[in-house]
C-alpha cells in the first residue's frame, strides 16, 4: 500500500515538472530566423573631399605645359622708321641777278650782297664778296666762290669750290661741291644731295 502511494506521488511530481517545462518553453520569445532577416546595408559616412597639392612634375602639369608650348605666340617687334628730317633752307629771294652768258674776258663777278643765278654753260667763274643766294644752273661749269649763305647746283657735271657756306643743295647729277668752313660759326653746314653720283665734301 505504501509503495503504491509513493509511486503515485512520483507520477504527480513528474507530471508537474513536465507541465512546468512546457509552459516555460511556450513563453520563450521566438528568435527570428537568420535566413529570414533582411540584410543590413552598411553605408559608409561621406568623407570630405581633400584636394592634394599638385606635384610640379605631375602628368597634368606637364600636359598643360605642352599644350601651352604647342602654339607659341609670335613676338611682334615694332620697328620705328624715323623719317629723314631735311634741313630747312632760307626762302629763295624773288629778285636775283641772272647771268645768261659770259664775255671772253669775264673771269670774276662781285656779288655785292646780291642773289645771283648763273645760266651760262661751260662757265669758269669766280664769285667774290658775299652772295646770300648763289644758283648754278648751267652745265659743265667750274665755279669758285668766296662767301655764300645758300648754294644750289642744278647744272649737271659741275664742280663748285666755296670758302665759307651755310646751306648746300645739289640737285644736279655728277656734280661735286667742296667747302672750307661754315659761314655762320655757330651752326654746322647743312647739305642736301638728291642728284645721282653727286657729293658734298669738306676740304
- Predicted local confidence at residue 103, as pLDDT: 84
124 in any annotated domain: yes
pTM listed for this prediction: 0.58
Low-confidence ranges of the chain (pLDDT < 50): 24-27, 32-37, 59, 61-66
164 in any annotated domain: yes
Q: Assess contact for 170 and 195: CB atoms under 8 A.
A: yes
113 in any annotated domain: yes
Number of folded domains that form the chain:
1
- Predicted local confidence at residue 25, as pLDDT: 45
Q: Assess contact for 104 and 111: CB atoms under 8 A.
A: no
Q: H/E element holding 147?
A: strand 142-153
- Predicted local confidence at residue 46, as pLDDT: 57
- Predicted local confidence at residue 66, as pLDDT: 45
- Predicted local confidence at residue 85, as pLDDT: 64
Q: Which residue has the cell 622708321?
A: 81
166 in any annotated domain: yes
Q: Which domain holds residue 176?
A: 97-184
C-alpha cell at 196: 645721282
165 in any annotated domain: yes
72 in any annotated domain: no
139 burial level (CB within 10 Å; 0-12, 13-18, 19+): middle
65 in any annotated domain: no
162 in any annotated domain: yes
Amino acid at each position: 500500500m505504501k509503495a503504491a502511494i509513493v509511486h503515485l506521488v512520483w507520477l504527480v511530481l513528474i507530471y508537474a515538472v513536465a507541465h512546468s517545462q512546457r509552459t516555460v518553453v511556450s513563453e520563450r520569445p521566438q528568435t527570428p530566423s537568420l535566413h529570414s532577416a533582411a540584410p543590413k546595408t552598411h553605408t559608409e559616412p561621406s568623407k570630405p573631399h581633400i584636394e592634394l597639392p599638385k606635384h610640379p612634375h605631375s602628368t597634368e602639369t606637364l600636359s598643360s605645359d605642352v599644350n601651352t608650348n604647342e602654339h607659341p605666340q609670335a613676338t611682334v617687334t615694332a620697328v620705328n622708321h624715323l623719317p629723314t628730317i631735311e634741313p630747312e633752307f632760307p626762302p629763295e629771294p624773288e629778285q636775283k641777278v641772272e647771268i645768261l652768258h659770259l664775255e671772253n674776258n669775264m673771269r670774276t663777278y662781285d656779288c655785292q650782297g646780291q642773289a645771283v643765278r648763273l645760266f651760262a654753260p661751260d662757265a669758269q667763274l669766280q664769285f667774290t664778296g658775299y652772295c646770300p643766294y648763289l644758283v648754278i644752273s648751267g652745265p659743265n661749269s667750274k665755279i669758285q666762290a668766296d662767301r655764300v649763305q645758300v648754294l644750289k647746283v642744278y647744272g649737271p657735271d659741275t664742280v663748285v669750290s666755296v670758302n665759307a657756306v651755310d646751306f648746300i643743295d645739289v640737285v644736279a647729277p655728277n656734280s661735286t661741291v667742296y667747302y672750307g668752313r661754315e659761314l655762320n660759326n655757330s651752326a654746322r653746314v647743312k647739305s642736301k644731295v638728291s642728284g645721282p653720283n653727286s657729293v658734298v665734301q669738306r676740304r
